[in-house]
Structure 1
Amino acid sequence: MADTSTSTGTSDLRPEDEVARICADLIRIDSSNYGDGSGPGERKAAEYVMGELTEVGLDPVLLESESGRANVMVRLEGADTSRPGLVVHGHLDVVPANAADWQVDPFGAEERDGCVWGRGAVDMKDMDAMIVAAIRDLARTGAKPARTTTFCFFADEEAGGTKGSHWAVEQHPEWFEGASEAVSEVGGYSVTVPRRDGAGEQRAYLLQTAEKGIAWLRLTARGRAGHGSVPNDENAVVRLAEAIARISAHPWPRRYVASVQGLLDGLSDLTGITHDTDDAALERLLEAIPGAAGFVRGTLRDTANFTMLDAGYKHNVIPQTASANLDCRFLPGHEDELMSTVQRLAGEFVDVEVLHRDIALEAPFEGSLVDAMKDSLLSEDPDAAVLPYCLSGGTDNKALQLLGITGYGFAPLRLPADLLFAPMFHGIDERVPVESLRFGARVLRTFLDRA
């Protein structure tokens, strides 16, 4: 192991001492993913990560799926090589940001009000920074993680991972050989709820044990082209509008998967607010977690939301076709039902095309890895609770599941009670408290010792 004390400035530098710097550095690198092949790509961010790891004597590998779409891998041998390996991963791309909508430059990484602001501060350059800081600490100290651990920084997560995690799983499965479990983004952050006895508040950390599947669909209505002044009962625009209205009005039934039921029951135990009597009771419970309520609402049922429209080319021409893009998210075990429901509601004159489809996941809220995550959080926040949680979106854990690797969300952050955290995912004025980053760096480093 190389002696890096001169390059870091001190031999006893801790992960929490440099995590905010690393997060800010990453935010300043624009790695926006527009989903259409345009944008700067992840190469510069990947090169930055490579530099941080090579500086401490490691030999990471940069793999491009195509020019500019870069992934970084490094593996550290575990203290117990007889155990299955672990994958700890993040993604380096971010969704685009319109600077005019923000209070600050979204790629300026300005520190204001105790927070680092910028695109990726929440999704997920904060966690990338925690991972880099933890790896650097392991390398500097010569310590080994509990299990042989492959650390990955993927491209393209924000467009489904086809040039990132899915590409790596298909083209370089050797990097994941021997691994049984993985941890990545979104879960592990705190919410603050009122105590059932009325004596103050209680923090609870939401450990992600499930995530919904994805079906990105394009609906194309077929009709008869014609002059805009002539009545037309085969108007493709009308047929599409009718299909949109049917799908949007469909009452998707509420069904609780195990992780959602566990979360709601746990919140009820902490707050004393029941959730299983009627809709009003459930809403009262969700109002107790305003920072995460939107994500939780998205896991109570399957969803189908229209996001894009495309029809026509001249004001006085009725087009032959009209199309719309539909973002569907289905709970574990619900994929076939959702697809057949959309097809039925679309109707006979509307074709349904799958643009991107990925699996739903659900993992047990038990076992040694879950215990290590809980213990690591409680070592820093002993009075807190840890609850299971289903993500309404998706992560790169989907790709790893294709290799039989069970994934969890664990980006640990102790958050201020009044910070509306979850709405900042893909939102404006994205920011993360510096103290939350420091907390997360400590917890993640402890977790690697215990996993």
Structure 2
Amino acid sequence: MNLSDELVARVNAARDDDAAVAILRDLVSIPSVTGDEEAAARWAADQLRGVVSAVEVDVFAPNRANTWATWGTDTESASGGLLFLGHLDTVHVRGWTEHWAGTERESPYGAPIIDGAVWGRGVADCKGGIAVLIAALRQLHRSGLAPVKPVTALFVADEESGEEGSGTSEGIKRAIAVADRMPIRADLAIYGEPTTMQVYTSHMGFFITDIVLTGKSAYFGRPELGVDALRAADEVLRALWAHDEDLRTRAADPLIGTPSLLVTGVTGGGSVAVPGECRLSIIRKLTPDEDLSAARDELEAVIRGAISDPRVTVSTSYPASRDHELGGTPHVTDPEFEPVRMLQQIVKRHLPDRGDIDAGPYWSEGPFLRRDLGIPTVYLAPGDISHCHTFDEHMNVDEYLAAVSVYLQFIVDYCGVRDLGHPSGTAPHHTSANPGREG
């Protein structure tokens, strides 16, 4: 849709860069490490009240909540539209203050602007994407316009891993479970994970495996009485690394690359005795052609085949269940799907060197939306994943402001707009084209 010059002028006149940056900094200032998201959820709801048609904070456990909001001409019956998501939780801040002691960055929640970037925990992963949407909706409201097709915002808890007893996507599972009273309808979902404003249409699958090797401890002077679990661990480690080498020779996905395996932790021994137990942790990357259950079976065969001493027992567990009992499935949305192509064109209009189709070097929650709600999902937001979860997490202000313009234009072009001041309650300025659904 091409807006009239008058409407373009109204939207542009409502732009407020200072207010948009303040939204980002305010959100970063609210601690929301996984397990403690309620305050951030309530803040997000407050930003949208008086702007959108309906807002609700859904507290589903102590200190844990999602925010749901929708805006459109007839949000009770309208179909299509857009869904924007982001996760409210961040990884921990342990060590941040010590690392930046005596500098402007000392507080992980201070959100200082340094050399054109906002610094702080979660600023890119993924409070930036949430703030972009809030800023875009507020600008649209200031312009006196509203979307015709519905725009839904869903900000969820519990996406990040790392905190004990959390990080299993309880937030989005809850949102899907209560979708009868907080409806989620859209032709396309945009998840605000950092992509440096490239359009990620796919991402890897994964599972985490904890391995426990059990032998028998014995006094170091009589090692023949023990069963050395650490020696077994050496055999397993060698086999795992060989398995990784084999995986990397297999067929590569054009965007995601080859499957792989990484050993992430080893603990064992520690006393003056034959080690009776050793624990290993691994993470397995899967491509879209792979099945999690089959990959699990292959891994367990590698582990058991490596142990030469039959007295060593082995157990495996899979602690990171997401949309699959073992972990998270790979995700693919057709890059030729018309709304995706429209989005890509809009990104390139504002950022000519961005908007390319790519894959996320991470797993996120798009598979839930496709499996449970039938909504194709892409990832698009400012920020660079390479410095997320580190002491260098920051967000370039210019990229962030460009993202606000991208989100806003996509909402206007895809959903159409009506004039809030039009006497009849509707306006002639709206899209009539229906790009359809992904085949």
TM-score range, shorter chain: 0.7 to 0.9
Superposition deviation, residue 343 in structure 1: 1.2
For residue 30 of structure 2, give the secondary structure of its aligned residue in structure 1.
coil
User: Structure 1 length normalisation: TM-score?
Assistant: 0.75
State the Cα deviation string for residues 326-370 of structure 1 (Å, max 9, x = none).
222211121344323321221254322111211110111112211
CA RMSD of aligned residues (A): 2.6
Give, as a single letter, the amino acid of the residue that structure 2 aligns with 1:373: L
What number of residue pairs does the alignment pair up?
372
Superposition deviation, residue 401 in structure 1: 2.3
For residue 158 of structure 1, give the secondary structure of its aligned residue in structure 2.
coil
Q: How far apart in 2 are the matches of 1:31 and 1:228?
A: 48
What residue is the counterpart of 1:333 in the other structure? Answer: 289
Residue 408 of structure 1 is aligned with which of 378, 382, 386? 378
Is 1:240 aligned with 2:233? Answer: yes
Identity %: 22
For residue 288 of structure 2, give the secondary structure of its aligned residue in structure 1.
coil
What residue is the counterpart of 1:275 in the other structure? Answer: none
Superposition deviation, residue 301 in structure 1: 1.5
Superposition deviation, residue 187 in structure 1: 5.9
Superposition deviation, residue 152 in structure 1: 0.7
Is 1:435 aligned with 2:435? Answer: no
Q: How far apart in 2 are the matches of 1:78 and 1:367?
A: 25
Give, as a single letter, the amino acid of the residue that structure 1 aligns with 2:265: M
Does the Cα contact within 8 Å between 2:33 and 2:90 map onto a contact in 1?
Answer: yes
State the Cα deviation string for residues 155-207 of structure 1 (Å, max 9, x = none).
111034432112222344553443342111346525xxxxxxxxxxxxxxx31
Q: Which has the larger radius of gyration?
A: 2
Residue 336 of structure 2 is aligned with which of 357, 360, 366? 366
Does the Cα contact within 8 Å between 2:261 and 2:284 map onto a contact in 1?
Answer: yes
What residue is the counterpart of 2:212 in the other structure? Answer: 220
Residue 255 of structure 1 is aligned with which of 238, 245, 251? 251
For residue 307 of structure 1, give the secondary structure of its aligned residue in structure 2.
strand
Q: 1:400 to 1:146 in 2, by over 3 A?
A: same
State the Cα deviation string for residues 45-82 of structure 1 (Å, max 9, x = none).
11211221125465410112211111100011258976
Aligned 1:419-430 pairs, distance under 5 A: 421-430=384-393
State the Cα deviation string for residues 104-130 of structure 1 (Å, max 9, x = none).
122210111111111112111111110
Aligned 1:4-403 pairs, distance under 5 A: 13-14=14-15, 16-33=17-34, 41-54=36-49, 56=51, 59-77=54-72, 83-97=79-93, 98-99=95-96, 100-102=98-100, 104-105=105-106, 106-145=108-147, 147-159=149-161, 160-172=167-179, 174-186=181-193, 188-189=195-196, 206-232=198-224, 234-250=227-243, 251=245, 252=247, 253-258=249-254, 260=255, 299-312=256-269, 315-334=271-290, 335-347=292-304, 349-356=313-320, 357-381=327-351, 383-384=352-353, 386-403=355-372
Does the Cα contact within 8 Å between 2:195 and 2:385 map onto a contact in 1?
Answer: no
Q: How far apart in 2 are the matches of 1:157 and 1:333?
A: 24
For residue 14 of structure 1, give the secondary structure of its aligned residue in structure 2.
coil
For residue 342 of structure 1, give the secondary structure of its aligned residue in structure 2.
helix
What residue is the counterpart of 1:8 in the other structure? Answer: none
User: Structure 2 length normalisation: TM-score?
Assistant: 0.77
Q: How far apart in 1 are the matches of 2:200 and 2:260?
A: 19
For residue 182 of structure 1, give the secondary structure of its aligned residue in structure 2.
strand
Q: 1:46 to 1:386 in 2, by over 3 A?
A: closer
For residue 256 of structure 1, give the secondary structure of its aligned residue in structure 2.
coil
Does the Cα contact within 8 Å between 1:221 and 1:351 map onto a contact in 2?
Answer: yes
For residue 32 of structure 2, give the secondary structure of its aligned residue in structure 1.
coil
Q: How far apart in 2 are the matches of 1:183 and 1:56?
A: 20
Does the Cα contact within 8 Å between 1:19 and 1:133 map onto a contact in 2?
Answer: yes
What residue is the counterpart of 2:409 in the other structure? Answer: 446
Give, as a single letter, the amino acid of the residue that structure 1 aligns with 2:66: N
Does the Cα contact within 8 Å between 2:152 and 2:184 map onto a contact in 1?
Answer: no
